[in-house]
Amino acid sequence: MEFATLIEPHGGELCDLIATGKASDELKEEALGLPSISLTPRQVCDIELLLNGGFSPLKGFMGRDDYDAVVDSMRLSSGVLWPMPITLDVSEETAAGLKEGDRIALRDQTGLLLAIQTVSDVWKVDKEREAEKVFGSTSKAHPAVGYLFDDAGTHYVGGKLDGVALPTHYDFHDLRRTPAELRAEFEKDGWTTVVAFQTRNPMHRAHKELTDRAAEEIGGHLLIHPVVGMTKPGDIDYYTRVRCYKRLLDHYTHDRAMLSLLPLAMRMGGPREAVWHAIIRKNYGCTHLIVGRDHAGPGNDENGEPFYGPYDAQEMVTEVSEELHIEMVPFKLMVYSPGIDGYKPIDEVKEGEETLSISGTELRQRLADGAEIPSWFSYADVVEELRKTHPPKKQQGFTVFFTGLSGSGKSTIANALMVKLLEWGGRPATLLDGDVVRTHLSKGLGFSAEDRSTNVQRIGYVASEITKHRGICVCAPIAPYEADRRANRNLIEQSGGYFEVFVDTPLEVCEQRDVKGLYAKARAGIIKGFTGIDDPYEAPTDAEIVLDSTKYSAEECADQIMSRLKEEGYLG
Ligand code: PPS
């Protein structure tokens, strides 16, 4: 198959791998008889940029020669500069069924056909080598290294693509321009000099000042080109961010700035990633790229040390600048100077001059507290958008997750807490009591380790949904295993508050109480695998609240929890 190669006004060839008309129909027909691979979310991002030309000059997932050359020397085997491996990772089992010359259908997770790949080679990955050479570390604290070791398959499958369709998107249609569309728009608007701003964060006044200065410096226009594929885990979701960028756009001088979205899966690869970003922006028709402090930085390693120096990315882009065909506009950190009521790069700050800044963490804290966000920091309309998805704690959902032995008092305290929460009012509250859950949500499950895990994680899933919808969920299973509690915590904390309450009643006391007569039966061997008798209870070490039901009444215990929730700001 012949690929169309467009010579575009801004220089540089753009690969367009999508077949049209009859050729496309033929590919769809052929795919019916081919083995399929269902692409992961990251692979879907990669294939979108391969197919739409954002990754030009690549014409498919890398074969071994290109991969080795990229890993070792940041170049394709042809010698062309390319810093990031773009590979199709698969399991050992899938790899075993593939050989050179095979054609495979690549589909998204709904089964939609995106492309057919002609396999050029299949090989086992040396993950240590890739991590070390590409990202400079084998620490899983680096998001791309963690992904490589924990999520990526063991083998890579290289080969050119015959594209059928770009991945489907249902959002922000008017902002998802392909490289060809963006180049055409620049051409139509007469934008000959365009500086791109790469971002994965909401933009505030510092970014506005920086981008304004950059556009002024080059005497051209600005493209706000945020990543909406995959960014760093924990980042603010892109829907919120895009709504913020749209509001920010109104603050630029008319016709100076344009917003377009980039469906890239970032690797947080610092210097190599900056070079990659530059090549991608060149493909999107830009003439310049802003590279700031700690560009595409992955944060710190487990010892609190940064993976890359703050200006490593700028240095690497400078090193290869001759080959890039896009210029870097380097920027230092911008800080607010109350003296001039404006922003300036940190290296222009005079000795003793007062400056102000608000870190990402501090911003989140202010949002969570419903505290003021000063106008020198951001625009009221941008903040308003942020607050919609980041309400103060008193409006967020939360889960109170009880754990403890049978007979420890969980259900009694949980019931008392429910009544107090309902008395307080303000949010709907749901109680998922261990015994009760087993009559519906977990009906049919027994007490094997596997069934208990399923039961506890089902409760966690429901709690996370309730929390996400800003309600209150009180859970009271035994939840004997640490791993399940941790999984629930991780899930629920993404959506709101999480309070683990350990009802720390000693086994002897629970056995003595034996309200249901189950301990007696367990001791007599009538019930097998009873928690605390012949099945383990892994006592929590990181519970937010530990209760002593031998010293305090159920009501007093519930009051302790209410006090903590108030202290933490969840009850307003
Ligand atoms: S778990 O481990 O979290 O899935 O347990 P859970 O769903 O909370 O159910 C515990 C209640 O089931 C009764 N029961 C048993 N508990 C522990 N081990 C065994 N083998 C067992 N068999 C039945 C018991 O009444 C528990 O209720 P609580 O309210 O905890 O006393």
**CATH number, domain at 190?**
3.40.50.620
Judge contact between 43 and 86, C-beta under 8 A. Answer: no
**In angstroms, rounded to a whole number, what is the distance separating the alpha carbons of residues 140 and 258?**
36
Within this chain, do residues 351 and 380 fall inside the same structural domain, yes or no? yes
Within this chain, do residues 222 and 309 fall inside the same structural domain, yes or no? yes
Given this model, what pLDDT does residue 233 score? 85
Handedness of CA 485, 489, 491, 495 (dihedral sign): positive
Give domain status of residue 2, yes or no. no
Domain boundary among 133, 163, 193: 163
Given this model, what pLDDT does residue 12 score? 63
Inter-residue long-range contacts of 67-72, CB under 8 Å, 24+ positions, other chains counted: 67/156, 67/158, 70/134, 71/129, 71/130, 71/133, 71/134, 72/133
User: Does the CB atom of residue 480 touch ligand 1 within 6 A?
Assistant: yes
Model pTM score: 0.86
Judge contact between 470 and 499, C-beta under 8 A. Answer: no
**Residue of 327, 281, 267 whose CA lies nearest to 146:** 267
Within this chain, do residues 427 and 531 fall inside the same structural domain, yes or no? yes
User: Does the CB atom of residue 455 touch ligand 1 within 6 A?
Assistant: yes
Judge contact between 287 and 253, C-beta under 8 A. Answer: no
One-letter amino acid at 531 equals T
User: Does the CB atom of residue 452 touch ligand 1 within 6 A?
Assistant: yes
Residues with Cβ within 8 Å of residue 122, at least 6 apart in sequence: 95, 98, 99, 100, 155, 156, 157, 158
Within this chain, do residues 494 and 414 fall inside the same structural domain, yes or no? yes
User: Does the CB atom of residue 447 touch ligand 1 within 6 A?
Assistant: yes
**In angstroms, rounded to a whole number, what is the distance separating the alpha carbons of residues 144 and 130?**
10
**In angstroms, rounded to a whole number, what is the distance separating the alpha carbons of residues 288 and 326?**
5
Inter-residue long-range contacts of 453-462, CB under 8 Å, 24+ positions, other chains counted: 453/481, 453/483, 453/484, 456/481, 456/484, 456/485, 456/488, 457/484, 457/487, 457/488, 459/432, 459/488, 460/401, 460/484, 460/487, 460/488, 460/491, 460/492, 461/491, 462/432
**In angstroms, rounded to a whole number, what is the distance separating the alpha carbons of residues 389 and 491?**
17
Domain boundary among 335, 363, 389: 389
Given this model, what pLDDT does residue 16 score? 86
- Calculate how far, in angstroms, residue 406's C-alpha sits from the geometric centre of ligand 1: 6
- Calculate how far, in angstroms, residue 130's C-alpha sits from the geometric centre of ligand 1: 47
**In angstroms, rounded to a whole number, what is the distance separating the alpha carbons of residues 53 and 70?**
19
**Residue of 362, 345, 206 whose CA lies nearest to 373:** 362
Give domain status of residue 122, yes or no. yes
pLDDT tens for the chain, residues 1 to 572: 333 333 343 346 788 899 999 999 999 999 999 999 999 999 999 999 999 999 999 999 999 999 999 999 999 999 999 999 999 999 999 999 999 999 999 999 999 999 999 999 999 999 999 999 999 999 999 999 999 999 999 999 999 999 999 999 999 999 999 999 999 999 999 999 999 999 999 999 999 999 999 999 999 999 999 999 999 988 999 999 999 999 999 999 999 999 999 999 999 999 999 999 999 999 999 999 999 999 999 999 999 999 999 999 999 999 999 999 999 999 988 999 999 999 999 989 999 999 999 988 899 999 999 999 999 999 999 999 999 999 999 999 999 999 999 999 999 999 999 999 999 999 999 999 988 899 999 999 999 999 999 999 999 999 999 999 999 999 999 999 999 999 999 999 999 999 999 999 999 999 999 999 999 999 999 999 999 999 999 999 999 999 999 999 999 999 999 999 999 999 98
Judge contact between 127 and 149, C-beta under 8 A. Answer: yes
Within this chain, do residues 180 and 294 fall inside the same structural domain, yes or no? yes
The structure tokens 């050359």 sit at: 69
Give domain status of residue 5, yes or no. no
**In angstroms, rounded to a whole number, what is the distance separating the alpha carbons of residues 52 and 18?**
7
One-letter amino acid at 347 equals D
Given this model, what pLDDT does residue 1 score? 34
β pairing state of 4-7 and 13-16: antiparallel
- Calculate how far, in angstroms, residue 61's C-alpha sits from the geometric centre of ligand 1: 51
- Calculate how far, in angstroms, residue 446's C-alpha sits from the geometric centre of ligand 1: 9
**In angstroms, rounded to a whole number, what is the distance separating the alpha carbons of residues 383 and 244?**
8
Within this chain, do residues 305 and 421 fall inside the same structural domain, yes or no? no
- Domain membership of residue 26 as a residue range: 21-163
Given this model, what pLDDT does residue 435 score? 85
Within this chain, do residues 384 and 403 fall inside the same structural domain, yes or no? no
Q: Active-site residue 52, yes or no?
A: no
Within this chain, do residues 221 and 130 fall inside the same structural domain, yes or no? no
Within this chain, do residues 397 and 470 fall inside the same structural domain, yes or no? yes
Within this chain, do residues 460 and 539 fall inside the same structural domain, yes or no? yes
Residues with Cβ within 8 Å of residue 146, at least 6 apart in sequence: 140
Given this model, what pLDDT does residue 7 score? 36
- The CATH number assigned to the domain holding 439 equals 3.40.50.300
**In angstroms, rounded to a whole number, what is the distance separating the alpha carbons of residues 127 and 144?**
11
Mutate to test the pocket of ligand 1, among 408, 413, 415, 435 (most ligand atoms within 8 A of CB): 435
Number of independent structural domains in the chain: 3
Give domain status of residue 10, yes or no. no
Within this chain, do residues 274 and 383 fall inside the same structural domain, yes or no? yes
- The CATH number assigned to the domain holding 145 equals 3.10.400.10
Give domain status of residue 7, yes or no. no
Within this chain, do residues 400 and 534 fall inside the same structural domain, yes or no? yes
Give domain status of residue 1, yes or no. no
- Residue nearest to ligand 1 atom 9, measured at CA: 434
Domain boundary among 143, 163, 183: 163
User: Does the CB atom of residue 171 touch ligand 1 within 6 A?
Assistant: no
The structure tokens 């929890």 sit at: 561
Give domain status of residue 458, yes or no. yes
Give domain status of residue 105, yes or no. yes
